[in-house]
Amino acid sequence: MADFKEINKRAFTLIELLVVIAIIAILAALLLPVLSAAKQKAWQASCLNNHKQLALAWSVYNDDNNGNFVIDDPVTPTLGGTNFPSWVYGCMSTPTDATNAALIQMGLLYADVNNAGIYHCPADNSLANDKRTPRLRSYSLVNYLGGAPTNYFGGIIPPGSEPLFTAMTKQKAGQLKHSAAVLAFVCEGVNINDGIFLVPPPPAGWCDEPAARHSMGCPFSFADGHVEYWKWQSNPPNSAGDLARVQADLPEP
């Protein structure tokens, strides 16, 4: 009869299992920041692409309308949002507007964009005033491009600055001296409402604030169609240095 040797099967000890789990936890802790940074970079690239698409549609509109800028003005400010006709319609602080894609589709640029998703930053998880409703739009257009020169936005413009505001407001592309240095579309912060990004001229302070959701930075598009990513000094970007940087890229009088 053949001799059979007993084969001892050795199981992992508790200490060995704990060591393996600890190694996995350390690897996860090392990889998560890398994966998070990669996700942030992907969102930033997608947001910049959205800006590029909006800037292109804005330029096409100008070309098709004898160089006139698309209307960027709250026709009836008491309604609390940008109203038709304008580049976009509705108010993102209002829950009924925030989820209504039809209001985006009514905008004067939609025929050349034709994708409501382009109006929303992938990193934007801000909510309407009810704190429950996600917003469909993240972008606004600087108030000096196509806005009404005499609309001083309810006294926000400091007394005595009205002539400067009027001189800075442009209606046609040919009025811009340096289009590559003029902000157009902004990825606006959590307080986004209408389609206008309001920046009063100096010496006024901040009014609307740009976003800081992209690693404490914000994508912009410019009047010549190029896009840039700006890093801020503070979060939210409400420092004097950040404001001066924005005001430096407004249309010249």
Q: Is residue 126 part of a domain?
A: yes
Q: Is residue 31 part of a domain?
A: no
Q: Is residue 26 part of a domain?
A: no
Cross-strand pairs, 142: 197
Distance of CA 224 to the CA centre of its chain: 18
Domain count, the chain: 1
Q: Is residue 226 part of a domain?
A: yes
Output the tens digit of pLDDT for each of the chain's 253 residues: 445 455 555 666 777 777 778 788 787 777 666 555 667 778 789 999 999 999 999 999 999 999 999 987 665 544 456 777 889 988 899 999 999 999 899 999 999 998 999 999 999 999 999 999 999 999 999 999 998 888 777 677 778 888 998 999 999 999 999 999 999 999 999 999 989 999 988 888 888 999 999 989 999 999 999 999 999 998 888 888 999 999 999 999 9
What pLDDT does residue 4 have?
47
Q: How far is CA 114 from CA 66, 118, 190, in A?
A: 22, 9, 25
The domain of 224 spans 43-247
Strands 217-222 and 227-231: antiparallel
Q: Is residue 30 part of a domain?
A: no
Both tokens of residue 181?
């240095």
Q: Is residue 33 part of a domain?
A: no
Q: Is residue 10 part of a domain?
A: no
CA neighbor of 88 nearest in space, from 48, 154, 38, 137: 137
What pLDDT does residue 78 have?
45
pTM of the model: 0.83
The letter for the amino acid at 183 is L
Q: Is residue 87 part of a domain?
A: yes
